[in-house]
Amino acid sequence: MNTAEEQKRIVRDKYAEIANNDKALNAASCCGATNASTEVYNIMMEDYSPLDGYNPDADLGLGCGLPTAFANIAKGDTVIDLGSGAGNDCFVARHETGPEGKVIGIDFTDAMIAKARINADKLGFNNVEFRQGDIEAMPVADEVADVVVSNCVLNLVPDKHAVIKEIFRVLKPGGHFSISDIVLVGELPEAFRSDAEMIAGCVGGAIQKSEYLSAIEDAGFKGITVQKEKTILIHDDILERYLDSDGLADFKKGNIGIFSVTVYAEKPGTKKDKPRVKLADVNQCAPGSGCC
């Protein structure tokens, strides 16, 4: 098995490459990391285009759900997006929170941060900020967010329990999250769990669904709800790259399930009234880099 640092290096290197992939390639593979399937166009991602605030330039086809559609974001909210990529969920969230709110995207990869800032500059958004950082130790102060969202990212992180504790830390009392991610029921073949492309492809690093939900509860969250669940099918022309014929047959007759789940949970406490933000204060910030 790869060490935590090796897994982070794999993800950082692969997503620097994925930042410049065509969306169609990413959508037809496992999060842009594996070879593309010829059997189906869309393996994991869902269609963002009907959502208000959607910007095609920011959509790299890397998600496995629509967390911002389930996140109950209100006007004036401060929203944090974990693994913000080119800014797709941030820009949808910004539509919901409005110019009086704030959106902070956090990403591990310099190339993604650069791409997201360019997109924010094009849109002229002064209240969307992108920070380079590790979501196991977020570059964010305590209790600043009303809402946290994330799309197919926690599976990429070695210490998922640390990330969930960080989400609890950065949320205000009474705040909540809506996160889409890949989880498992049953054990993956070792060829998947140790392969760099399957780790970066949002499958190799996924954990058991029961462990995932337990970690959220153990961190202190309440009102835990699975908002949406769908089965992820990995087609033979991808599987054959990792498994021989016997391994492929065993995989198909096994009891392994790979799922995309969107989970909602709340931090206990009572929300305080939001302070009013003057537009003059918002507009003095540089687009893309945002205000701290």
Tens digits of residue pLDDT in 71-92: 999 999 999 999 999 999 999 9
8 has a pLDDT exceeding 90: no
What residues have CB less than 8 Å from 192, skipping those under 6 apart? 198, 203, 204, 242
Residue 10 in any domain: the answer is yes
* pLDDT of the residue at 81: 98
Q: What is the CATH number of the domain that holds 81?
A: 3.40.50.150
What residues have CB less than 8 Å from 3, skipping those under 6 apart? none
Please give the structure tokens belonging to residue 181: 């991610």
Instruction: State which residues form the domain around 16.
Output: 4-266
pLDDT for 106-162, tens place per residue? 999 999 999 999 999 999 999 999 999 999 999 999 999 999 999 999 988 989 999
User: Count of residues for the chain?
Assistant: 292
pLDDT band, residue 276 (cuts 50/70/90)? very low
Residue 248 in any domain: the answer is yes
Residue 188 in any domain: the answer is yes
Q: Please tell me whether residue 249 adopts helix, strand or coil conformation.
A: helix
Residue 283 in any domain: the answer is no
1 has a pLDDT exceeding 60: no
Residue 280 in any domain: the answer is no
Percent of the chain with pLDDT over 90: 55
42 has a pLDDT exceeding 70: no
Distance between CA atoms of residues 233 and 65, nearest Å: 14
* Residues 6, 127 contacting (CB under 8 angstroms): no
Closest C-alpha among 213, 222, 218 to residue 263: 213
Residue 290 in any domain: the answer is no
Residue 68 in any domain: the answer is yes
The pTM for the full model equals 0.86
Residue 222 in any domain: the answer is yes
- What's the number of domains the chain is made of? 1
Q: What is the mean pLDDT of the chain?
A: 85
pLDDT band, residue 218 (cuts 50/70/90)? very high
pLDDT band, residue 163 (cuts 50/70/90)? very high
pLDDT for 253-265, tens place per residue? 777 888 999 999 9
Distance between CA atoms of residues 11 and 57, nearest Å: 22
